[in-house]
Structure 1
Amino acid sequence: MPYEKAIYHYLDPMSDQISGAEPILCAPLLRHVDERLIELLRSLRPEEWNLQTVAPAWKVRDVAAHLLDTVLRKLSMVRDHCFVEQNQIRSEQDVVDLVNRLNREGVTVYRRLSPPVLIDMMDSACRQSADFHESLDPFAPALFNVSWAGESTSLNWFDTARELTERWHHQQQIRFATNRPGIMTPELYHPVLDCFIRGLPNAFRNVDAPLGSTIQLEISGNCGGTWLLRKENAGWDFAGTPEANPVARVVIPQELAWRVFTKGIDRKEALASSSLEGDRALGERVLGLTAIVA
């Protein structure tokens, strides 16, 4: 898909009925999501910075600190090629342990900042980040792979889309905690969902089923869509054509989907609020998708 057409696709996300196959070219959306973040943080009352979020270890100020830390970290390492320590990565668990450590260290430092200081730093960092991501060739190799999708190497478009999910869902955690309206608009939320769901083939990599078996995932609501996962010779992959009789059909409300894929909701609540038809074990496997590293 040409770059300009793909951009239009995510400004008009319901233009295609079946998702999952095309690149998610969404770099310009990072700027819009972060502009909403700055507006949100400036609107918070002092006591709201200490409200608990759906992330058990983090209050609002901790999520804001994490958002500042990750954008500065990405600029330092990817744009400026600055690495102050060398880490040996030998396994998937090594990645998880490293990310958890870096997140803890960043939150410990930046949660100490006053809201005015943090917001000013966030505003500057976000503008630089948007400029940087918009400057990248979306089809060039990314410095970091999208590990939760099972990729050993990724292209920039996927890394940028992953960045969009991070900026969007952590902002949504703050909005959810402070009872602010979410940013569930089709142009901003649909590409986030599409990126999350790109982790399904990896989540099903060890799941056996007859060749040609198809699982249909629907996210209900105007930001959602339909994704078809099919068992092929080489494993599970997305299909671009509808299947008359999928072996499993899962419907998740869009209000819930972001929490399902980011460990922000109890599994029993997710099952109770979603619709599963057909093979229940396969359907529950869809609800077990985690599209974050840690």
Structure 2
Amino acid sequence: MSANVCGTAPILAASLLRRVDAKLVELLRDLGPDEWDLPTLAPAWKVRDVAAHLLDTVLRKLSLVRDHCFVENPVIRSPQDVIDLVNRLNREGVTVYRRLSPPVLADMMESACLQSADFHESLDPFAHAVFNVSWAGESTSLNWFDTARELTERWHHQQQIRHAANRPGIMTPELYHPVLDCFVRGLPHAFCDIDALPGTAVQLEIAGDCGGTWLLKKHDSGWRFASSAEITPAARVIIPQEFAWRVFTKGIDRAEALAHSLLEGDHILGERIFHLTAIVG
């Protein structure tokens, strides 16, 4: 087993947002008129809808977190309330911004993304974030995790557009590995109801030059990532990197994902990895 395992160090991704969003603006300006109406992996969303969502969320984050502008104060009593709220806000944003012409949307995106990059780079990564990363089961999160979560949103929705328009992806180690590392941080929460003897370990490998190895270990207090690979896992899962982002964002059927992957050892433990959804809604 490789001695290098991921999952324990902070993901300092603020500077990567600027690079990913610059590629997004370039992509949007290059799309032809017909490509804006292509279907994507996101159910019921065309390319223009995904682009509208990306504009809406960056503007919403700046308004809420940077500018402290809260025009409503919803009551949140459960995780489902969070999902319902996010889904509603997403629908409302897409309804508005999908009406923009491609040039107008791209210009607004460029301006908003530059402001977003400046803002995230200004944050103390180890201070408490305004919003917690709910899909990782956290009640409070640090800025570095919230910013890494933001990177996963910007990266995977852009990848949906690239997939739909048959454009080259942005699967480079510098940009894609931090996205995968952030997605996988949701595994301890995904395993929270899986009982096992303390010391039981599950190993995930994402195959490819952007991937890595994560080792999840059961403790008396729950599942946590191990910092050492000197453990024999009860289950080992290998997912090719070209499918991994889709596995964790509802972009592929679970049965199809399993068919493209390798699962060794305890299948109940191994299959739980494919239940991880690292998005809200």
Provide TM-score, normalisation by structure 2: 0.98
Is contact 2:173–2:210 with CA below 8 Å preserved after alignment? yes
The answer to whether residue 50 in structure 2 is matched with residue 60 in structure 1 is no
Moved over 3 A (4+): none
Aligned letter for 1:65?
Answer: A
Distance (Å, rounded) in 2 between the aligned partners of 1:243 and 1:51: 47
CA RMSD of aligned residues (A): 1.0
Paired position in structure 2 for 1:121: 108
Aligned letter for 1:62?
Answer: D
The answer to whether residue 66 in structure 2 is matched with residue 82 in structure 1 is no
Is contact 1:203–1:289 with CA below 8 Å preserved after alignment? yes
Query: Which secondary structure state, in structure 2, belongs to the residue aligned with residue 192 of structure 1?
Result: helix
Deviation at 1:236? 0.2
Unmatched tracts of structure 2, length 5 or more:
none
Report sequence identity in percent.
77
Distance (Å, rounded) in 2 between the aligned partners of 1:271 and 1:206: 21
The answer to whether residue 215 in structure 2 is matched with residue 218 in structure 1 is no
Distance (Å, rounded) in 2 between the aligned partners of 1:27 and 1:178: 27
Query: Which secondary structure state, in structure 2, belongs to the residue aligned with residue 218 of structure 1?
Result: strand
The answer to whether residue 256 in structure 2 is matched with residue 269 in structure 1 is yes
Is contact 1:259–1:265 with CA below 8 Å preserved after alignment? yes
Paired position in structure 2 for 1:97: 84
The answer to whether residue 2 in structure 2 is matched with residue 26 in structure 1 is no
Deviation at 1:255? 0.2
Q: Deviations over 1:156-191 (max 9, x none)?
A: 000000000000000000000000011000000000
Deviation at 1:244? 4.4
Aligned letter for 1:144?
Answer: F
Alignment of 1:105-116 (within 5 A): 105-116=92-103
Deviation at 1:287? 1.1
The answer to whether residue 229 in structure 2 is matched with residue 231 in structure 1 is no
Paired position in structure 2 for 1:39: 26
Paired position in structure 2 for 1:69: 56
Deviation at 1:195? 0.3
Deviation at 1:75? 0.1
Alignment of 1:137-286 (within 5 A): 137-286=124-273
Distance (Å, rounded) in 1 between the aligned partners of 2:257 and 2:45: 21
Provide TM-score, normalisation by structure 1: 0.94
Q: Number of paired residues?
A: 280
The answer to whether residue 111 in structure 2 is matched with residue 130 in structure 1 is no
Is contact 1:148–1:292 with CA below 8 Å preserved after alignment? yes
Aligned letter for 2:8?
Answer: A
Deviation at 1:289? 0.6
Distance (Å, rounded) in 1 between the aligned partners of 2:227 and 2:87: 36
Aligned letter for 1:235?
Answer: G
Distance (Å, rounded) in 1 between the aligned partners of 2:197 and 2:216: 13
Query: Which secondary structure state, in structure 2, belongs to the residue aligned with residue 262 of structure 1?
Result: coil
Distance (Å, rounded) in 2 between the aligned partners of 1:168 and 1:30: 9
